[in-house]
Amino acid sequence: MESIQDLLAPKKTNIPINEDPKTGEVSLPGAITVKLRDLHHFLELLQIGEANRHAANTKLNTESSRSHAILVVNIRRSVPGKVEDDISYQDKITKGNSPIVRKSKLLIVDLAGSERLDKSGSEGLLLEEAKFINLSLTSLGKCINALAENCPHIPTRDSKLTRLLRDSFGGSARTSLIITIGPSSRHHAETTSTIMFGQRAMKIVNVVKLKEEFDYESLCRKLEAQVDLLTAEIDRQQKLRQIEKSGLEKQLRECQDCFQETRKTLVT
């Protein structure tokens, strides 16, 4: 069975895949999300993930990757909204000044190579890993074939790998594919299959779309701060009015006392 492991937290395995019912975007809610500080921090995390990736010695490769690896980088950039001249003040608050967030996702994928079991000599656990690697690559190949032939149904749900990479082929992404082959004539069949895979992938056309949305959380924080400011101003005005009222009441009492004293003087 395919499973997803967090290479930044190797104990987290069998991480589920969630899909947004509205946008169809895929996420991994159980995986760690790290806010990058700079390029050095990024490279440190990359090294940690690579160190936690499982590799083993086979007849074909002394450092054979026993899994695919996917690096996911989410980028969010605020873009000021436009203010139209013909909208009301309230609309300017809710629309014009509401920040727009431009969202991007970078996927760097290292696919484990397809294994001919009779050549690799994999046994036991390595054999099971090889089967799942080959199965996911077969699913990816089916999706590539379906997209290249403009089929109405793309079987992305056949594998967790294809679910994660769905937007990268036939979606709204810019995709670059690098295929590698060996120079030995012994691997002629694998070389031919790999080249044909690359040729089919070249037929796929992606339509790049800009993903933008209103940053309602930022807008709420801004409006909340504005409400607090106005509330404080109202309290200040009320206190000033109370002080002014107290002063007028004092003057009134003094006038009333003076009036009473004057009446007494007139009566006597």
- Digit-coded pLDDT (tens) for 128-183: 777 778 888 889 999 999 998 888 898 988 899 999 998 888 777 888 999 988 78
pLDDT at 42 over 90: yes
| Closest C-alpha to 58, from 162, 109, 130, 111 | 130
* pLDDT for res 268: 63
For residues 83-90, give the mean pLDDT: 42
- Contact status, residue 111 vs residue 72, Cβ threshold 8 Å: no
In this predicted model, which residue has the larger pLDDT, 94 or 185? 185
229 vs 225: CA distance, rounded Å: 6
For residues 19-43, give the mean pLDDT: 88
Band of residue 66 on the pLDDT scale cut at 50, 70, 90: low
DSSP state of 171: S
For residue range 240-256, list pLDDT tens digits in order: 888 888 888 888 888 88
**Angle, helices 125-148/188-202, rounded to nearest 10 degrees:** 40
CA diameter of the chain:
134
* Element housing 106 (H / E): strand 100-110
